[in-house]
Amino acid sequence: MAKANGFLEYERKNGPETPACERIHNFKEFHGILHLEEQRKQAARCMDCGIPFCQAGVQISGMVSGCPLHNLVPEINDLVYQGNMKAAYDRLSQTHCFPEFTSRVCPALCEAACTCGLHTEAVAIKANERAVIEYAFKHGLVTSEKPKNRTGKKVAIVGSGPAGLAAAVQLNQRGHSVTVYERSDRVGGLLRYGIPNMKLDKSVIDRRVKLMEEAGITFICNMNVGIDISSEELRSQYDRVILACGASNPRDIQIPGREANGIYFAVDFLKFVTKQLLDSDFEDIPYDLVKNKNVVVIGGGDTGNDCVATVIRLGAKSVTQLEMMPKPSKERQESNPWPEWPRVSKTDYGQEEAIHVFGEDPRRYETTVTEFFMNEAGDVCGAKLTDGETISTDLVLIAAGFLGSEAYIVENMGVECDDRTNVKTLPGSYETNVKGVFTAGDMHRGQSLVVWAIAEGRNAARQVDESLMGYTNL
């Protein structure tokens, strides 16, 4: 444990945050890190709770409680409290490849299951994790980890999102030669183009990829497996293949007027914005897409929230976010006890910014669009809601989730899918019906969190290694 009774002595304190009035004028990250001495106090709040649900990652009432990576949270917190950041990094590295990603974008399943959070605020586990990994980078503790020996085995990984990257790190450490194929122009998958820069600065991805390349991992971008190279070619060149292509088939809304101009899938929109920013080194900001337009975002999840934050930065005249589900309660209900994931109302950064700019929360609950209207030029100009109301809109972003893998890669690889259109495997396994072809991440479990993708990548790498070597020490 950390400090005895530290949870009684110190209140939770979050890191510094750039106010909404300032951050909406740029695409920079806006969450900072506390001074180390203050972070030690936050780690001191970790209590000797006996059963650390924070690191359990188990199913409780159909929902996961705690970290799917099984990070050794109380031990890491104790080491941060002691000020031994090197040891804290070593301990974190036993279970986690990319703390710099999850400490920025994870909703912190660990904190939701923190025992301290039963009666007061949870321990700041996510902030402690970020403090550890940023300390490690700053002090040269994160190295390229080139393997001493090579096994002579070759593995191809299709997709460079968190699942693919995690599998690549593990298999390369084992000594296998790993090549990662990415259809986009840059490595990172949805980390790169599905999450806005203010939430995850892309230099954080570049920093890690550089180390992976130095460790011997090969990245091939602008290569669309299933189109530019066939599954037969891939399987003939490699001993094993891992499909980590994501659940990148967006759910559409088939209603009258859908063909109007100005209606986009959310991830396509976010990718376009991020790519233009990166291509121009943030000099060419695509205001023309949004400026002075009334925007409707369909979907109340993380991607919808990211869209709200993005269009505000691009000068939207107004933003309305539609959510089909009822508004959650402010407090836990008896049917949703700790340590289950709390189904409570939260205001994320995008909604906070909308409240600052427009004076009200952009979300409207228990509604969606039943029809789009277009003007004579074919541009969307309005939307009819389920209650019959018509609202004006010049831009619509569909953030209604995903429907599993894209058909072309599945068909080209010859792998089977389940009823949810995820690539099928036996329970607890990552090998598909095609011998030597494995899968991981959203392509395997459906649209999920970055932390789950990393866990899937690590688990798939372990099974691939065992299939190649007859045993595994991963």
Residue position matching structure tokens 């020996």: 149
pLDDT number for residue 239:
98
Tens-digit pLDDT profile for the chain (474 aa)?
678 889 999 999 999 999 999 999 999 999 999 999 999 999 999 988 989 999 999 988 888 899 999 999 999 999 999 999 999 999 999 999 999 999 999 999 999 999 999 889 999 999 999 999 999 999 999 999 899 999 999 999 999 999 999 999 999 999 999 999 999 999 999 999 999 999 999 999 999 999 999 999 999 999 999 999 999 999 999 999 999 999 989 999 999 999 999 999 999 999 999 999 999 999 999 999 999 999 999 999 999 999 999 999 999 999 999 999 999 999 989 999 999 999 999 999 999 999 999 999 999 999 999 999 999 999 999 999 999 999 999 999 999 999 989 999 999 999 999 998 999 999 999 999 999 999 999 999 999 999 999 999 999 999 999 999 999 999
CATH of 154-248+403-469, one of 1.10.260.40, 3.50.50.60, 3.40.640.10, 3.30.1950.10: 3.50.50.60
**Fold entry, domain 263-398:** FAD/NAD(P)-binding domain (3.50.50)
Lookup: tokens for 37? 């001495």
Contact of 366 with 324, CB cutoff 8 Å:
yes
- Asked if residues 339 and 60 have their Cβ atoms less than 8 Å apart, the reply is yes
Dist CA 113 CA 54 (whole Å): 5
Whole-angstrom Cα distance, residue 215 to residue 196?
28
In this structure, the strands spanning 294-298 and 395-398 are: parallel
The residue among 294, 293, 321, 318 whose CA lies nearest residue 306 is: 321
> Do 6-138 and 154-248+403-469 have matching folds?
no
Burial 162-197 (b: 16+ CB within 10 A, else e): bbbbbbbbbbbbbbbbbbbbbbbebbbbbbbbbbbb
| β-bridge mates for residue 383, sequence order | 372, 391
In this prediction, residue 61 carries a pLDDT of 83
Q: Pick from 120, 233, 207, 217: which is nearest to 173 by CA?
A: 217
Distance CA 320, CA 326 (A): 16
User: What pTM value is reported for the model?
Assistant: 0.96
Fold classification of 6-138 is: Fumarate Reductase Iron-sulfur Protein; Chain B, domain 2 (1.10.1060)
CA–CA separation, 382 vs 394, rounded Å? 7
Domain spans in the chain, listed from the N-terminal domain onward: 6-138, 154-248+403-469, 263-398
CB contact set of 402 (below 8 Å; sequence gap of 6+): 247, 248, 249, 250, 251, 442, 446, 447
